[in-house]
Each structure stands twice: as C-alpha cells, then as structure tokens.
A and B are shown apart, each in its own frame.
Chain A
Amino acid sequence: EDQVTQSPEALRLQEGESSSLNCSYTVSGLRGLFWYRQDPGKGPEFLFTLYSAGEEKEKERLKATLTKKESFLHITAPKPEDSATYLCAVQAVIYNQGGKLIFGQGTELSVKP
C-alpha cells in the first residue's frame, strides 16, 4: 500500500536554529514527491517537486532532498515567518490514477524569536 509518513509531528525551534523535517514514503513507482507549506486557515502552497533520488531543490532558507525511501526538508537559520505546517505528498506511477497525491500528516513547525 502506498504510504507517506512525516516526522516529527511538531517541531519547535529558536530563531536561527537549523533543523530538518523527514518524509518517508513507500510507493509502487515514484512519479514525483512534493513539498507544500500550509498556514492556518489557508490552502497548501506549493514549494518543491523532486523526481529522482539525489535531486535537490532550494528556495531561500529551505532545501529539499530526495533518496529512494525518504525526503528531507532542511531549514537553515529559520525565522518566525517560517512557522507553518509542512506537508509532503507523493504521486505514484499508476495507470488511470491521474494526478492522485498521497499526503503525509504534516509537520507543524513553530519558530520562536
């Protein structure tokens, strides 16, 4: 069964304290792995797409990496405005499933000044 597990469920950091969020996945053929940011009361906001093991993407203080079993979202010197829930999702290579995404439960990140 295709599955996505994110850890930790919640993470509290001090401003400037770097850390990583983990997304472990099992899928019958990975088409793509996605990272989203979700602020309270809003829809998920797209951050990155990763397609193959070894790939890395960066955006400001965020860097996403991918292996054959997991993805990491590294946050370097975070600021309070980075506080949000970060969602990981995978898309499997399954005929007739269209663009179906399988989401993890998310990691709630809180960055204190």
Chain B
Amino acid sequence: NAGVTQTPKFQVLKTGQSMTLQCAQDMNHEYMSWYRQDPGMGLRLIHYSVGAGITDQGEVPNGYNVSRSTTEDFPLRLLSAAPSQTSVYFCASSYYGTGRSYEQYFGPGTRLTVT
C-alpha cells in the first residue's frame, strides 16, 4: 500500500491564482481531511469528509473548497490564492465509525508559497 499520497510536494503561486492540491489514499478509509501547519499555530483542520459525496468545514475553511466524488480522492482547491495561505498542507485519512476513535494517517505534505 502506498498509504496517503499528495501532489505536488512544492508549489509557488502568485496572489489571485487558483490551484488544486491532490490527495489520494489506498486504504479504503471513509474519513479524509485537510490540515494546514503554520509555525506556532500547530495543525489546523480546513475541511473533512466522512464518505463520498459528504464534506464539511473545519476550523479554517475560508478560501478553500473540497469535493469527494470517490472514496480514494479528496482534492483541495484554492480559489484565489492569498499570501496568508502560505503554509504546509497535509492530507490525512482514517476509518470512521461512531463510538470508536481511529488513528489518522498523514501524507507527506505540500509546501505552498503565495507571493
């Protein structure tokens, strides 16, 4: 199993440009999520999904869109990039079920710089 994969690893955007960060998992996990990691802020949840066709907002959703058309893929779209979106982005996945907590597995990250 490849686990959780993310592309690209690095990206530089100009303010106002749009792009999509790709995330895929091959573990048949229902739950997938996107985090951003900033110095001094820790990991913060952007959006998450508990299954194909189901998404919801996390702690810092503004400026980002997601969709989940398949179990395997969960892309994150930046609509109009801003310097405040300069960060490292991590995708994570886990099994999901009420009454049970499952460990999340993280991808290698995408380092995004917006100039």
- Find B56's partner among A31, A44, A98 (CB 8 Å cutoff): A98
With A98-B96, A100-B58: A43-B109 Cβ-Cβ less than 8 Å? yes
- Is B40 an interface position by the 8 A CB rule? yes
Beta-carbon contact of B106 and A99 below 8 Å = no
Q: Which of A36, A51, A99, A105 has the most CB of B within 10 A?
A: A99
Q: Could you list which residues of chain B lie within 8 angstroms of chain A, going by C-beta atoms? A: 4, 31, 33, 40-45, 48, 50, 56, 58, 90, 92, 94, 96, 100-109
Query: From B9, which residue of chain A is reached at the shortest CB distance?
Result: A41
For chain A, residues 85 to 106, give those with C-beta under 8 angstroms from any C-beta of chain B.
Answer: 87, 89, 91, 96, 98-101, 103-106
Partner of B104, one of A42, A96, A99, A106: A99
The reply to whether B106 and A98 form a contact with Cβ atoms under 8 Å apart is no
A contact residues vs B (CB 8 Å cutoff) = 31-32, 34, 36, 41-46, 49, 51, 87, 89, 91, 96, 98-101, 103-106
Residues of A within 8 A of B50 (CB): 98-99
- Docked complex Cα distance between A49 and B100 (Å): 11
